[in-house]
Amino acid sequence: MDNLRMEGKVVLVTGVANQRSIAWAIAQALHAAGATPVFTYQSERLQKGVEELAGSIGSDHVMPCDVTNEEEVAAVARSIEERHGRLHGLVHSIAFANREDLAGEYLDTSPEGYRTAQDVSAYSLVTLCRYAAPLLAAEGGSVVALTYLGSVRVVPHYNVMGIAKASLEASIRYLAYDLGPKKIRVNGVSAGPIKTLSSRVIAGFNDMLEHIEARAPLRRNVETSEVASATAFLLSDLASGITGEILYVDAGYHVMGM
């Protein structure tokens, strides 16, 4: 990370649930690059764990934020403005779908299940960007959202989450256009499968890991740290000319035809 100079950069990292979270690896990469990560947690249940992780890299700026609660998102923006006066980066590492919608057939998705996946996993990027934009515009900024190949290819059992990720990726492009004049870049990192709290809920997840190990150009799965360093790159000035892009960090699996 020595070549990523992010000293003095304040980056809001959403989506840390535990030490396996991709967002936690991103926060560590940002810290190593000299940035100041600030954290949110979804619910009280996660507060202590996130505070401990943040504390281990010297951060005490940890705020509650359920992304479906606009008042909490607004409070996060106010708190960052009070403590830092500006923001340079935003990491969206949040997704949720009901367990029953991540097994069986997409055809059976209920309207509520569809809305929940879209609200939490895709629309939340719009809400977060709306509140963060005035802070990100102060000195120019970068937004990165985590996505997955199931947005553009059929991955059995990923179902409603694939449709939510397709919305997320389209949102990335439209937000890149809206926020470009404010010197805010918006990109996505499409990560290969990694064992975390959320991914374990997807039916057949271990089979997916084996399938990729056998077929990806690199003949292996990716490490969380590799997803984190690509995210840190997009957040840094090294990526100053890149916006509206989806960067695959998946050992090359997405290029395969079969």
Applying CB under 6 A, the residues found at the interface with ligand NAD are 15-17, 21-23, 42, 46, 65-68, 93-96, 120, 146-148, 191, 193-194, 196-199
- Active site residues per annotation: 148, 158
Name the residue nearer to ligand NAD (CB basis): 199 or 243: 199
Please report, as a single letter, which amino acid is at residue 218.
L
Beta-strand ranges (E) seen in the chain are 10-13, 36-41, 62-64, 89-92, 141-147, 184-191, 246-249
CA distance 186 to 198: 24
Structure tokens at 250: 């998946």
Query: How far is CA 255 from each of CA 77, 147, 220, 226, 258, rounded to the nearest angstrom?
Result: 39, 16, 14, 18, 9
Q: Single out the residue of 242, 115, 118 nearest to residue 180, CA to CA.
A: 242
Nearest distance, CB of residue 25 and ligand NAD, angstroms:
8
CA dist., res. 43 & res. 45, Å (int): 5
Mention every residue, 6+ apart, whose C-beta is less than 8 A from residue 249: 189, 190, 191, 192, 222, 226, 227, 230
DSSP state of 129: H
State the nearest-atom distance from the C-beta of 257 to ligand NAD, in Å: 21
Nearer to ligand NAD, 141 or 193 (CB): 193
Q: How far is the CB of 149 from ligand NAD (least distance, A)?
A: 8
Q: How far is the CB of 8 from ligand NAD (least distance, A)?
A: 26
43: phi then psi, degrees, rounded to nearest 5: -150, 165
Smaller CB separation from ligand NAD, 4 or 67: 67
Q: Which is nearer to ligand NAD, 1 or 39 (CB)?
A: 39
Q: Minimum Å distance from CB 49 to ligand NAD?
A: 10
> Are the beta carbons of 146 and 189 closer than 8 angstroms?
yes
Residue among 36 and 116 whose Cβ is closer to ligand NAD: 116
Q: Smallest gap, in angstroms, from Cβ of residue 148 to ligand NAD?
A: 4
Q: Which CB, 18 or 240, lies closer to ligand NAD?
A: 18
DSSP notation for 173-217: HHHHHHHGGGTEEEEEEEEPP---TTGGGSTTHHHHHHHHHHHST
